[in-house]
Structure 1
Amino acid sequence: MAAVTLLGSTAVALGPAPAVAAGTSSDVDAPVVTSTGLVDGQIIGRGQRLFPSWTDDSGVSKVDLLLNGAVLRSYANGELDRGLYLTVPAQLHGTDADVTVRAFDAAGNHGEATSRVHIDTEGPHATLSPPFGSFVSGVVTLTAIDVSDDLAQISLFDHATGREVAKTTAAPWTMTWDTTGRTGGAQVHFELTDKTGNVTFLYGSYAVDNTGPAITGLRFPTQPDHTVVDGRIKGLSRLTAMVDGRSPLERVEWWVDGTLRSTSRIPAAGSYPVPYFDWDTGNENRTAVLEVRAYDILGQHTTLTRRVVIDNTGPAITQITPGNRALVRGAQFKTTVNGSDPSGIREAYLSGAFSVPKTPFTVLASAGKDGLRTLTWTLTDRLGNTSTAQRVVIVDNTKPKATITKAPANGAKVKGKGKVKVAVSATDRNGISRVELLVNGKVVAKDTAASYAFTVNTARYGKKIKVQVRVYDKAGNVTKSSVRTWRR
């Protein structure tokens, strides 16, 4: 049968095909590989997909891929549209190698082409900043340094979402990662790809902190220096701050009335000291605004503000008993003091003795010898401020002197009905309070004005009348006269 070639729409007869001897193939032309998919001198990595090209009058049925003369894999006709995948052994890194593509037609004819390439099977490298394990917050800038010369791309994947969250393809190799709203550990990995397609995976995690430090307490000094109580303060006082946070603390600033007064620096490693501020408040009474600002290593900060009353004034002493120049008697006498203070009163002290711990503050004081006795009371508030007040009292343990100067004598007989006069002389250096007349043991009259005189109505008593006077001085000392017995 003659071969026919279609030119346009006209059929042209080319004559009968030449006869072929029995048992021989009619296809003697080998395929021609026009490209291996590579070029001489090309750098290739560990894995490379090639798309070679060839021609053949009857079509290619199989292709072999060879590396340095050894067949790596054979591809059938149905697999060729996906290209040829070249896998390079790691030990060939840094060497030159021959990559051959050998094409076969159905008749077994084959042709091939070879490209000499340079092998690079090592993945790229880089150092990340900040490194894995670092604390980060907000929008984080990540930078790759000390990168391979052939680095082509870096991608960041967040394991929480499984998605690529950042990518960079050129120097300075920086990426941004938005961690806003997250706190806790974040697992990630970086994919570093070089120009040959080699990939290096870097796995790790970051500590994400978007909450900042928390000031959980502000401690004012307590016993024994008593310098600060309930937001009130005096003199030189050491304040300490309790700070918690996920990220390490970097510093604590102490501000007074808008002015930075002190900074507590926290070392990056080693011991974790408690931030403190030695505050010299001065001698002026006032209210100050204290701010404590805590900063973590990420720059996040928290502020605690307190109004502090500076109190350098001692308690106000409002009352002392006994009164000034009051008369007291006995081996001991009770003395009290009352006072007030906005910071509270911690103690009251009198000349060698502390009082009972409640108001009015009370002490049993020793009287001592007759005469003047000075009481010195000292009140101390809870900040250590003191106030002192003195009181002079008169100790009088001497009994007054009493004499009946006019009255019937002891054993005298008096009228059954009538009135008998009794006159008394009473003296005391601190004064007489009163004179009492006792008849038959009962008080029947009192007199507080000198000279002291009484009248006894004899008709009101029995046949025997016992008369006596009792004298009190102003300190409470008492003296009794002898008893006179009258008969009527």
Structure 2
Amino acid sequence: MSMRRASLRRGLTAAVLSGSLVVAGGTPAWADADAPDTTPPTIVSTGMTEGQFAPAVFLFTPTVTDDVRVSSVLVLIRGYIQGGCQLRTDGLWQCRAVLTSAIVPDETPIDITLRASDASGNKTEATTRVRANNTPPTGAVSPVRGTSMHSGTVAITLTDVSSDVVRVVSSEGAELTAAPWSFPWQAVNRAKSPSFDLYDQAGNKTTLATGYIVDDDAPVIQSAVSLATYMDTVLDGGAGWVGDAGTLTAAVQDASPLRYEWWVDGALKSTGQYFYWRTTGMTARTANVELKVWDAVGNSASRSYVVNIDNKPPALGSITPAHHALIRGSRFTTTIRVSDPNGLAYSNLQGADYRNVEPGKFTTVSLASGRDGTRRFTWLVIDRLGNYTTYSRDVIVDNTLPTLRLTKAPRNKSMLKTTTRIAAAAGDRNGVARIQLLVNGKVVATASRTAYSFALNPKKYGKTFTVQLRAYDRAGNVRYTGKLTYRR
């Protein structure tokens, strides 16, 4: 039985092997697979020449091939990537290497390596030693930059040009390859001035701008104004005003820089765009002002103005309290009224707690010491032209009560049958204003002379009534005597 099984197993194995050979022989499993790409790209030319000058931004065109496809080209300096290459539409690679002075000192030999790679990762490198020349050329223009000029032919010369400059190209298309670097230019009014590109032997480029101003037009004085603290006025038409101190200025249109002169009544007063004018001491109410301007090439213009002068501060109408007025308490109210032809702009009670209700109609509360004595308050007022002045007043603070005592009166709780005299004595450093007789708390008589005497008729009052005296000083302080009770 075991021999039979072994024979069967050998037959099956032979059949399987036979079938495998047939399949393998008919169609091999690796017949459609591509052969691996092991060929690296070829750098036919680096696009550089040994020892050539290389600028700060170095552009060059290498020639690189591959049997399949070049996938990338990199630029390496000292083993680090310092640039890259792009494939142009014409099939060439355009490379860019950065050789600024921060990377390579000027006039230093440096190796630039190209690393070309294909899609399979095969790489090829090629190195060329060049000489860094990363300092851009220098130069200047004559006439100097920003010069103003009239129209006409101008000879522009480049001066102090670097010795390694090999080409200069103007923005108008003219080109020179050797000194003297001189270009004729036809200047036209308001035309844009040319610029010049300087190229050295390494290819570094510097652009020199001229910034010339071609100006055949006279300045145009558009407007002139007087600048005041709180009011600006236009000078044209005789409407302009200036105060004790003011500033005149003008808006002038011109292509080139300007020179100014301000004349007042035929005398030169200022040579700047802003004329700071002090009219202190002038009594005339108007002045003739002339503005003259010249541009950088000598074109000129002028205008005259009649300017009104108000160099007087606001005039005082009234102020309260009056000078040496008596006040009492810890605060007092002061008001001021002023007038000015150009209007009041600002007011302030100096050194005080205040509220400004309306310019020219002030109601201001000022702190006053509770101690008796003289207190000065000062108003500052400013008109719209900046003229200002102060007005001061002294007030007398009196918070001391007057003295008051009875000199004649019936004894307390007495019975009164007929009219009785009540007299008193009072005093105050600033004067007693009046003494009043109060019966049952109501004023029945007032005395304002120094002989303070009252007649008391008990028949006018009830069976029982009270009598008291009250004294006021001129500041309004009040003192009472004690109450006396009488019967009738």
Scaled by the length of structure 2, what TM-score is found? 0.48
Q: Comparing both structures, which one devotes a greater share of its residues to strand?
A: 1
Greater gyration radius: 1
TM-score of the two chains, using structure 1 as the length reference: 0.48
